Structure 1
Amino acid sequence: MGSSAMKIYSYVNILLVAFVFASFMAMATATTNSTDTASAILLRVDQSGKGDFKKIQDAIDAVPSNNKEFVFIWVKPGTYREKIVVPADKPFITISGTAPSTTIITWGDGGDIFESPTFTVLASDFVARYLTIENTFGSAGKAVALRVSANRAAFYGCKITSYQDTLLDDTGSHYYSNCYIEGATDFICGNAVSLFERCHIHSLSKVNGSITAQRRMSPSENTGFTFLGCKISGVGTAALGRPWGAYSRVVYALTYMSGVIAPQGWDSWGDQNKHRTTYYGEYKNYGPGADTSKRVGWSYKLSNDEAAPFLTKDMIGGNDWLRSFPKKFKKSSTIVAGKS
């Protein structure tokens, strides 16, 4: 924190977070396409019984199958002990708290990465805002907090925490903005194409942990993780990534890296054959962990031209699907709000 670069990062990040939260109920936070997203059906979740539902899952269940309207589920502050699934036939849902410190979704399941998640998203065109999503299973094995197996999903200002496989970023195009993601082992994993912008990545690994385990399986797959303008902190040492798939692709750009990052930067997961096929790149990062002089020989220090495709939302097609915050809310004639 003593360097001028870190001070600048912290100051800018504070301003960005303040702006996002100040505009929560007032303005758009993302580029939209030609679809009218100005209004949405409002459903309120309140544990005290003053809303339409007491449980988040009950609100999701009330949305009709093959939904074609934007639905905004506003979750009042509280700790919601639920294992949540957004089914594939219920697109266009937003689930929003007021702040991740006050709106907490928690569960404690471990084992299979597809069965253990606290929160599973299977529906396209999904948005989550200002939520904490946690798996409290502990450090004994795989325990996913958030699984995203859907196309066009965005997360703003969310806190996502577990230990191993915290975020199963499985399939689809995804956007994470100003999120806090914490874990120790392969805690951002999967085969989505995802942009992590201005996120805080915190490693709990004491030694030999890996932040990412990206699963790109062939050169024809347009998948990979990009971390743009992020911050990496931690308590021990960790690698930036290791290849779950032979063509694993991860890029860090304009990101602050604390001393938690091991000098070699990347791990081959014991398979030297993957040295020829993985794509691990770094571009203009800074901080004590960003020194590339001792990086593995099969990673890349990107030029301006090589980095350019990873520096915009074009890599996830975001300009076509990221949508604005609704300006108007309405009741629905098809969703029957009943207190549960």
Structure 2
Amino acid sequence: MVKVSTEESCITRLVNGFKRLSSLPVVLARTSQPHEDPQTHLLAISGIKISSLASSPLILINLHEFESGSQALNNNIGTPNADIVISKHKMEFHALSYSSFLLFSVYVFLHCSLAVGSIQAVKTITVDTSGNGNFNTIQAAIDSVPDGNSQWIRVHVHQGVYKEQVKIPKEKQFILLDGQGSDSTVIQWNAHTVPSDEEFGTAAFSVSADNFIAREITFQNSFDYKSNKAIAVAAAIQGDKCSFYNCKFLGYQDTLCDYQGRHYFNQCWIEGGVDFIFGRAASVYEGCTLNSILLEKGPSWLTAHSKVNLSAPGGFVFKNCKITGSGSMYLGRAWNDHATVLFYNTFMSDLVVPLGWDSWKQHDMSQITYAEESCTGPGSDKGKRVPWEKKLSAQEWNKYLGREFINQDGWIEQNAP
């Protein structure tokens, strides 16, 4: 068995672990109160219980989506002498005892090795345009994966621009497509179509297989949108349990076809001008940037979502994201009257139009679920939003922000690279 992350040094993994921790809504703090059970101090870290190594009790407090900074965190805990404070906004280190630092290091190790580096690749296939890999093209590497594959295979793509159309059929599951940085590893294809069933087939990259991961790679449709407006899909995803880490999706109209299945996007850059995220999938976008390159004044649309019916699974959930770029944009237009799009704790620049949402051709807006919560920036003012925007309860928000939306079986953690 080959660990996927074997090429990372221990120091790199530790540094990356600290970076990841700095964005987690948790606090590790010393408490002066006696533990309920002084004989065994247990911490639940990413679902793993370990014995406390500290001479004095330590507790791990989960502050889900707590946003008020380290001072408020300390106030919430009720202890001014916290060893380490980690929030979504900053990470502060105070005077650490050796035992506290040791425990913190164990947390970093467990989080990196078990929570975000848990998959094992039985084989690594290398792709290099210069001929220094197993294959010169990505598609050739994909084709070499046997149909019915049931174990993770890593396709390591060296930096370069790969001018090819890449398709992963449903028979080839458990592929990790691993680039060398989204700025230097690019899948590029030039194709376009008119609105039809052929949109999926013209994508620069498409995956129909379940259990797929991509990281540190760019998917680009290089069609010249400045001279001719047409649908030009960069990536089309219709497998289940597909995840993307630190990837870029570049296009103009219909950039990302998030077609069907459960999908997770983390720290991705998605760029376009018209409906540049569309489909009927159930997907979570976390820490992503949605960048408009709209040529005209607009307004245009960031998303276009639909569901087969009201009870069908589906929806786009944007958590801790950023909306940037040029032109003016609706947050979304309803592809049908069951469209579901939610923005949570997202920065919205002034390109977002005051109305926020477009019903498009729908006449019954009662079943459309468009909602926003805890968003910031000049575009987040809801004073002039459409009257049919949903006002969800805390319980309803938890349905979309919690595990039950797309992660009931824990696949996101299990499939983390």
Q: For this structure pair, what is the TM-score category when the shorter chain's length is used for normalisation? A: 0.7 to 0.9
The answer to whether residue 217 in structure 2 is matched with residue 131 in structure 1 is: yes
Give the match's secondary structure for 2:201. coil
Query: 216, 234, 256: which is aligned to 1:167?
Result: 256
> Are 1:98 and 2:184 matched, yes or no?
no
Match of 2:238 in 1: 149
CA shift in 2, pair 1:98/1:318, >3 Å:
farther
Which residue number in structure 2 is paired with residue 289 of structure 1? 379
Q: For residues 104-253 of structure 1, what are the structure 2 equivalents within 5 Å?
A: 104-111=186-193, 112-139=198-225, 140-205=229-294, 206-253=297-344
CA contact (8 A) 2:211 2:415 kept: no
What TM-score, normalized to structure 2?
0.69
Aligned mates of 1:196, 1:258 — CA distance in 2: 18
CA offsets per residue over residues 111-148 of structure 1, 9 Å max, x none? Answer: 03112100000110000001010001133110100000
The answer to whether the Cα contact below 8 Å between 1:213 and 1:242 also exists between their aligned partners in 2 is yes
Deviation at residue 30 of structure 1 after TM alignment: 3.9
Residues 83-94 of structure 1: matches in 2 within 5 Å?
83-94=165-176
Paired residues of 2:213 and 2:244 also in contact (CA < 8 A): yes
Alignment of 1:284-323 (within 5 A): 284-317=374-407, 319-322=409-412, 323=414
* CA displacement at 1:279 relative to structure 2: 0.6
CA distance in 2, matches of 1:222, 1:27: 32
TM-score normalised according to structure 1 size = 0.84
Amino acid at match of 1:156: Y
Equivalent residues of 2:121, 2:151 under 8 A apart: no
Structure 2 residue matching 1:185: 3-state secondary structure: coil
Equivalents in 2 of 1:170, 1:100: separation in Å?
23
Q: Name the CA distance, whole Å, in 1 between partners of 2:316 and 2:167.
A: 24
In the alignment, which of 129, 135, 138 is matched to residue 47 of structure 1?
Answer: 129
Structure 1: 5+ residue stretches without partners? 16-22, 327-340
Residues 275, 144 of structure 1: CA spacing in aligned structure 2 closer, same or farther, 3 A cutoff?
A: same
Aligned-residue offset at 1:302: 3.2
CA distance in 1 between counterparts of 2:205 and 2:329 reads 26
Aligned residues with identical type, % of pairs: 36
Q: Following TM superposition, by how much is the alpha carbon of 1:305 offset from its aligned partner in structure 2, in angstroms?
A: 2.7
- Aligned counterpart for 1:275 among listed residues 328, 346, 365: 365
For residues 224-259 of structure 1, the C-alpha deviation after alignment (integer angstroms, 9 at most, x for no partner) is: 100001001120100000111220000000111110
Once residues 192 and 49 of structure 1 are traced to their aligned partners in structure 2, the CA distance between those partners, rounded to angstroms, is: 38
RMSD: 2.4
Q: How many Å separate the matches in 1 of 2:360 and 2:353?
A: 15
Aligned length: 306
2-structure distance, mates of 1:220, 1:324: 27
- Counterparts of 1:66-81 in structure 2, within 5 Å, are 66-81=148-163
Q: Distance in 2 between matches of 1:13 and 1:99?
A: 25
How many angstroms apart in 2 are the aligned matches of 1:30 and 1:285?
27
In structure 1, give the amino acid aligned to 2:130: S
SS of alignment partner, residue 59 of structure 1: helix
Output the CA distance in 2 between the equivalents of 1:131 and 1:164.
20
Structure 2 stretches lacking a partner, 5+ long: 1-66, 71-86, 92-108
Instruction: Return the letter of the residue paired with 2:391.
Output: K
Compared CA separation, residues 13 and 79, structure 1 to 2 (3 A): farther
Aligned residue number for residue 57 of structure 2: none
8 Å CA contact retained: 2:219, 2:234: yes
Contact 1:229–1:254 under 8 Å retained in 2: yes
